Chain A
């Protein structure tokens, strides 16, 4: 299957600082990428849909000024958690959809996730 790579796999930062997480599609191009957040023992919750060359679409309750998403190329989307606080500590996972198989019934490919801890 297609490979989606996330970096870093884990990060610890101080409260008030910003953290950038990268999501790359390694062997395919993705016009659309999705960012999820998962709290302990909870399910994955969609935060936003990232579209190449345009603004991201955020889910209700997700602060767009706090979670900055940039999708500048067909293989890279970034999520920046600005002014991070301990309550932002979570597991963040991205997903990408292959541009050549953009039908809605195609398989979703996920990154390995980033564990963010804000101290």
Chain B
């Protein structure tokens, strides 16, 4: 049974810092991994999708890496801004999409 773990559960950092969010999964037989952002009381915004054959994807200040064999992914956020404050969810797809519990990020102005 696939399990997805996100560390840390919560994180507060001053504006401007670079930060890394971690995601690990127990079954490496995945098709892809997707990072989402969720604002309080809102739906999901897709940030980055990494296929199982890829090692990283970049979009603006975001960079996501994937090491499928070790069951790990990281989301790197450069030059953080208060608007980045949200919950970040990692989801892996095998026969189903399984989500981690998320990292609640708070960027301090």
**Partner-B contacts on A (CB < 8 A):** 1, 6, 34, 36, 41-46, 49, 91, 93, 95, 104-105, 107-113, 115
Contact = CB atoms under 8 A, between A and B. Distances in A.
A110 B89 contact: no
A37 B93 CA distance: 17
A46 B42 CA distance: 17
A108 B31 contact: no
Given A34-B97, A43-B89, A46-B96, A105 B51 contact: yes
B66 interface: no
A108 B91 contact: yes
A110 B98 CA distance: 14
B43 interface: yes
Interface string B30-44: 011010100001111
B105 interface: no
26 contacts: A34-B96, A34-B97, A42-B101, A43-B89, A43-B99, A43-B100, A44-B91, A45-B99, A46-B96, A46-B97, A91-B41, A93-B44, A95-B97, A104-B31, A104-B93, A105-B51, A105-B52, A107-B32, A108-B91, A109-B46, A110-B36, A110-B43, A110-B44, A113-B42, A113-B44, A115-B41
A contact patch SS: strand
Interface in B25-71: 31-32, 34, 36, 41-44, 46, 49, 51-52
Given A104-B31, A108-B34, A43 B101 contact: yes
Residue among B41, B44, B91, B101 with max Cβ neighbours from chain A (10 Å): B44
Interface residues of B, number: 24
Given A104-B31, A107-B49, A44 B89 contact: yes
Residue among A1, A41, A95, A111 with max Cβ neighbours from chain B (10 Å): A41
Contacts of A34: 96-97
A49 B97 CA distance: 11
A115 B38 CA distance: 14
Contacts of A36: 99
A23 B43 CA distance: 13
